[in-house]
A and B are shown apart, each in its own frame.
Chain A
Amino acid sequence: MRFVDEFRDAELGRAVATEILGAVEPGRHYKLMEVCGGHTHAIYKYGVDDLLPENVELVHGPGCPVCVIPMGRVDDGIAIAREPGVIFTCFGDMLRVPGSDGSLLEAKAAGADVRMVYSPLDALRIAKANPAREVVFFAIGFETTAPSTALTLKRARAEGVRNFSCMCNHVTIVPPLRALLDSPDLRLDGFIGPGHVSTVVGARPFEFIPADYGKPVVIAGFEPLDVLHAIRMLLAQLAEGRRAVENQYTRVVPWEGNVRALEALAEVFELRPHFEWRGLGFISQSGLRLSDAYAELDAERRFAVPGVRVADPKACQCGEVLKGVIKPWECKVFGTACTPERPIGTCMVSSEGACAAYYNFGRFQRGERAAL
């Protein structure tokens, strides 16, 4: 049992793995999706899937905020970054994401003032320190991250910072899950629910999955033992014929979520009619934009944004990876033309991306298993 000794409680890790062995019906194949990129990372890093019986398959979901940004949005960001006088700020993970004509990092090398920030509040600080410049924050992330942008925009408005604006790429977790459940490509038996997103939204938004689709959901923490526990809980529901949302991560996730964060989201943002996801296409009501009350801080209203739609590169199969239809190593360019050093697709950029996680931790062992 590779890495089980690194679990918080190795003894318990072995016991849960043994319970899982006892909970599966022979001859039945189980496909469980881990929604969050943080779980994907933990699974590969600690070899969680090596502890599972052959007939329990983990499928990686769309919950990596860097991975789901389509090329067109990168191109739009670069167009703003190239405007004279603009300081363009974003998280470090976003710098290397390829657009159709290079990344933000390449735009920076070509002269654009692109700066990595740790927090949207750092972007606001840069705006206040450079009143003669326009400072734009390229916001990405699910409900975990969106409240941080919301509170930053509230402060910018309260302080009357006129040279600060936000290009909003925040997305919400439920619409892509519904899209995956509606997709004929994929038959899933249950979901390992996202831990950090749920600290904000709580457990309730996932109740449609058992109610409308008859599948169990277990919200899980990020330790390998958490993920194993969640799998055990999902298999127990399936064996007992129950279908519910359960919370394995109660030490951090309250059932009701974070009311203050939800209030800030409701005040600052509104749903876009539709938003494009890399590989998943346009999904209705899945992305956030600034509400009318915050229109003056919206970079897309302040600058002329091309808004072009760019098809994903032909060779790249991030879409299939994000939908869980193929595994990273089944992509034609995985590890050859597409590597973390020179990524073609987003899933290879972020360390939470399924391709990068698999490339960094599991490549050879899994490759051997797949070849058997």
Chain B
Amino acid sequence: MCLAIPGQIVAIVDEPNRLAQVEVAGVRRNVNVGLLDAPEGGALPGDWVLIHVGFAISRVDAEEARATRELLERMGAEYEQELAELRGSEIR
């Protein structure tokens, strides 16, 4: 649960509950993007975010997302475990 993994926002799926569908390594799941809300606007489709326990905790650029993903892929088992747990998630 300690990892923050990069994903790209596909769509905002539940505006009142601040849920967005994100794509992480080919997997699409819902996460909460409420922590990124700001007066100048919140997370939008196309944005890259770091996801921790079902919540987007920061917005990053595409290059940072790519580098982070490559680092996690090299990590191996822990990243696989995190993705397996994400696949089991059904946030709605």
Task: Specify the chain A residue showing the minimal Cβ separation from B19.
Answer: A121
A260 within 8 A of B: yes
Question: What 1/0 flags go to B43-72 for Cβ under 8 Å of A?
Answer: 000000010111101101100100110110
Contact A251 B64 (CB under 8 A): yes
B13 within 8 A of A: no
Q: Which one of B36, B53, B60, B68 contacts A119 once the chains associate, using CB atoms below 8 Å? A: B53
Alpha-carbon separation in the docked complex, A105 to B38 (Å): 40
Q: Which one of A37, A125, A252 contacts B64 once the chains associate, using CB atoms below 8 Å? A: A252
Q: Which one of A8, A64, A93, A148 contacts B52 once the chains associate, using CB atoms below 8 Å? A: A148
Contact B90 A147 (CB under 8 A): no
Contact B35 A151 (CB under 8 A): yes
Q: A92-B85, A118-B85 are in contact. Are A145 and B92 (CB under 8 A)?
A: no
Alpha-carbon separation in the docked complex, A319 to B16 (Å): 44
Shortest Cβ gap from A218 to chain B (Å) = 19
User: Please, how many residues of chain B have a CB less than 8 angstroms from a CB on the other chain?
Assistant: 38
Contact A120 B54 (CB under 8 A): yes
Contact B60 A116 (CB under 8 A): no
From residue 1 to 32 of chain B, which have CB atoms closer than 8 A to chain A? Answer: 1-4, 17, 31-32
A279 within 8 A of B: no
Task: Specify the chain B residue showing the minimal Cβ separation from A159.
Answer: B17
Q: A8-B67, A93-B2, A251-B64 are in contact. Are A196 and B88 (CB under 8 A)?
A: no
Alpha-carbon separation in the docked complex, A96 to B91 (Å): 24
Shortest Cβ gap from B63 to chain A (Å) = 9
Question: What 1/0 flags go to A246-280 for Cβ under 8 Å of B?
Answer: 00000110000010110010000000000000000
Taking CB atoms, residues of chain A closer than 8 Å to B81 are 92
Contact A145 B1 (CB under 8 A): yes
Question: What 1/0 flags go to A89-127 for Cβ under 8 Å of B?
Answer: 001110000000000000000000000111111100100
Task: Specify the chain B residue showing the minimal Cβ separation from A155.
Answer: B17
Task: Specify the chain B residue showing the minimal Cβ separation from A196.
Answer: B4
Contact A147 B55 (CB under 8 A): yes
A317 within 8 A of B: no
28 contacts between A and B (CB under 8 A): A6-B74, A8-B70, A37-B2, A38-B3, A41-B75, A41-B78, A66-B2, A92-B85, A116-B85, A118-B85, A118-B86, A119-B55, A125-B90, A125-B92, A141-B53, A148-B32, A148-B52, A148-B53, A199-B50, A199-B57, A223-B71, A251-B60, A252-B58, A258-B58, A260-B34, A260-B35, A264-B35, A351-B77
- Enumerate chain A interface residues (CB-CB to B < 8 A): 6, 8, 37-38, 41, 45, 64-66, 91-93, 116-122, 125, 140-141, 144-145, 147-148, 151, 155, 196, 199-200, 222-223, 251-252, 258, 260-261, 264, 350-352
